[in-house]
Structure 1
Amino acid sequence: MRRNPARFIAFWSSLLVLAGAAAAFEGTPPPVDSIDLPDAQIVLLGEVHDNGAHHDRQAAALKGMEPAAVVFEMLTPAQADVLADSPLSGEALAEALDWDGSGWPDFSLYEPVIEAARATRVYGMAVPRADLGAVFDGGAAAAFGPEAARFGLDQPLPDDEQAAREEAQFAAHCEALPREMLPGMVEAQRFRDAVFARTILQALVDTGGPVAVIAGNGHVRKDWGIPVYLSHAAPEVTVLSVGQVERQGRLPDDAPYDLWILSAPAERDDPCAVFAR
């Protein structure tokens, strides 16, 4: 984490995208297998979950920053313990983690970043379904418990943000959800991001940092995601948000990340087909 990259990181050609090659940096680009980022106590590495190139780049970022801990959205604390104690790899490790029952994309996509994290202390921050059910029943603050105010969950969202987030949830679920569900979906997202922030801060306390975080792009965005709750709970901690975005052309200057990487979309079936059925 010694070079200061440009505000905009881009992978310039399809060949480089497919190779997982280095981004455009100020100065000499880093090698393909390592990406250097600016120093921060917490580095949030976003992704589109089923894009294997994103996980390759996350692995390269871990090699560049050499974190003391890596926190995964995809792992429960129990799975993180299994990973810490297991000499297994590949399909055997996936079976030990019960990855097929987790609902995440194929383990082979995540294997590069999981293997890169093995040199560190690994944390899982997945939220149990039962806890999310409590959010729908009583709200995020009540489900979170006594520290809700520390993380800002006791405050309602501004009306314009609430409306925007409900529309984002509606679009993300292919406009198939009843609109009366949308406020609860937003509360659940706030709850998850606050829980994630709490786990990340615990990893920072335990290890001294730096801490890397593997999570979806929505969770690492500065305006709605984990950084909001980190800033409430620990404003003195430095945070870097890195998004990985599937699109062609430069993102606008108000993109909700400190840095971002553009990439070609992964090949996938129509995600809305399940709702049509």
Structure 2
Amino acid sequence: MILSEHPLAGSLWQAESGKQSEPQALFEAIGSADYLLLGEKHDNPRHHALQTLLIDQTGAQGRKVSLVFEMLEPHHQSDLDLAREMVSDSAGKQMTGSAAYLAELGEKLAWEARGWPNWSLYQPIFASAIKHGMPLYAGNPERDALMAAGREGKLSAQLLDDLWWERTYDEEQSASLTDELVAAHCGMMSAKAVAPMMVMQRLKDAHMARAMRKSRKEQGETALSILIAGNGHSRKDRGVPMFLEDDARVISVGLIEVVRGEEDASSYGAFDPELYDWIWFTPRVDEIDPCDKFREQLKAMQQGSSKKE
């Protein structure tokens, strides 16, 4: 980790007031929420440590709480249900061998094989949730269904069930997501080329929201449903909250890496109450330009293609 000494690193801010706050204020706010969205940069260890802290805090509040993961698909659900049985007994007491089981769970879920960062970063989140008796839910659609939606632009009747797919982007939301996707591909893809990705992004958000609504319905109307997902899915203007009940009490926490030389919290684009309710700044994993990395990957792919020819 780098920039640990940055003035903003470790600080928590309430976006609406624009003021720095203490974690206790966030813990208290969560106490009256229906949904809690915890963003992340997937490979940042500090983000997962903060997520674990927040899950521990909500578990200690005594409410019924469930946890939904962006990283998991419906066919993983049976493994999640089994994990709860294997790791703790009916009283929530940790069973012998539970640590070893959790260490192996990532392999059962093909976590790293599917491209997610090291399982050890996420394992404490699962351990905390199971310790507090929280049901675990897969949030993402199946990869095949996701890819088909991108190619064809339409969804099967089964996938559409209770998806609230009629909620679509308005002009501003569409333009914002288009710009984000073009920038994410370093300007090497046009607005037209990223259109299928917009369908896939919307499907992921709608699918995760459905899992959150379902988890809360199964736990009761006073329960809290928590989402672990990337910051892009956790934002309130066009992310998962777009597919939650209009009157739901939603709290979104953006976990944001600090930037060298940027010491004014309000200068960060994420510092916007329309996006997140709370911003928690953390050190960075690296300062490598993602576009340099993307160009290298593209070059390697092109070279590999040329060799095959």
* 2:55 is the alignment partner of 1:62: yes
* 2:76 is the alignment partner of 1:79: yes
Q: Structure 2 length as normaliser, TM-score? A: 0.72
Identity of aligned residues (%): 29
Aligned mate of 2:281, from 262, 265, 275:
262
SS in 2 for 1:70: strand
Quote the offset at 1:261 in angstroms.
Answer: 0.7
Amino acid at match of 1:135: A
Give structure 2 stretches of 5+ with no counterpart.
Answer: 15-19, 84-97, 301-309
* 2:164 is the alignment partner of 1:145: no
Do the aligned partners of 1:59 and 1:116 also contact (CA within 8 Å) in 2? yes
Between the aligned partners of 1:110 and 1:226, the Cα distance in structure 2 is 21
* 2:225 is the alignment partner of 1:211: yes
Amino acid at match of 2:249: T
Amino acid at match of 1:275: L
What per-residue deviation string (whole Å, max 9, x for no partner) do you get for residues 25-51 of structure 1? 988755xxx955432011111111111
For 1:16-95, list aligned pairs within 5 A: 17=9, 23=12, 30=24, 37-38=29-30, 39-66=32-59, 68-86=65-83, 87=98, 88-89=100-101, 91-95=103-107
Between the aligned partners of 1:184 and 1:60, the Cα distance in structure 2 is 36
For 1:1-277, list aligned pairs within 5 A: 17=9, 23=12, 30=24, 37-38=29-30, 39-66=32-59, 68-86=65-83, 87=98, 88-89=100-101, 91-118=103-130, 119=132, 120-139=134-153, 144-147=159-162, 151=164, 153-154=165-166, 156-208=168-220, 209-230=223-244, 234-247=245-258, 248=262, 249-251=264-266, 252-254=271-273, 256-267=275-286, 270-271=289-290, 272=294, 273-277=296-300
SS in 2 for 1:105: coil
Instruction: Count matched residues.
Output: 255
Do the aligned partners of 2:103 and 2:123 also contact (CA within 8 Å) in 1? no
Between the aligned partners of 1:85 and 1:174, the Cα distance in structure 2 is 42
SS in 1 for 2:204: helix
Quote the offset at 1:137 in angstroms.
Answer: 3.8
Do the aligned partners of 2:167 and 2:242 also contact (CA within 8 Å) in 1? no
Between the aligned partners of 1:76 and 1:29, the Cα distance in structure 2 is 32
Between the aligned partners of 2:7 and 2:191, the Cα distance in structure 1 is 42
Structure with larger Rg: 2
SS in 2 for 1:267: coil
1:164/1:64 Cα in 2 relative to 1: closer, same or farther (>3 Å)? same
Higher relative CO (Cα under 8 Å, sequence separation at least 6) belongs to: 2
Quote the offset at 1:154 in angstroms.
Answer: 2.9
1:180/1:124 Cα in 2 relative to 1: closer, same or farther (>3 Å)? same
Quote the offset at 1:254 in angstroms.
Answer: 4.5
Let me know the Cα RMSD of the aligned residues.
3.0
1:15/1:254 Cα in 2 relative to 1: closer, same or farther (>3 Å)? closer
Quote the offset at 1:13 in angstroms.
Answer: 5.1
Between the aligned partners of 2:65 and 2:118, the Cα distance in structure 1 is 26
Quote the offset at 1:159 in angstroms.
Answer: 2.7
Q: Structure 1 length as normaliser, TM-score? A: 0.79
Between the aligned partners of 1:146 and 1:29, the Cα distance in structure 2 is 38
Between the aligned partners of 2:170 and 2:226, the Cα distance in structure 1 is 30
Quote the offset at 1:15 in angstroms.
Answer: 9.7
Between the aligned partners of 2:189 and 2:243, the Cα distance in structure 1 is 27
Quote the offset at 1:78 in angstroms.
Answer: 3.6
Quote the offset at 1:226 in angstroms.
Answer: 0.6
SS in 2 for 1:228: helix
Between the aligned partners of 1:266 and 1:173, the Cα distance in structure 2 is 20
What per-residue deviation string (whole Å, max 9, x for no partner) do you get for residues 43-73 of structure 1? 1111111111000000000011115211111
What per-residue deviation string (whole Å, max 9, x for no partner) do you get for residues 127-183 of structure 1? 2122123322442566742545xx2x3355333332221121011122233543211
Amino acid at match of 1:165: L
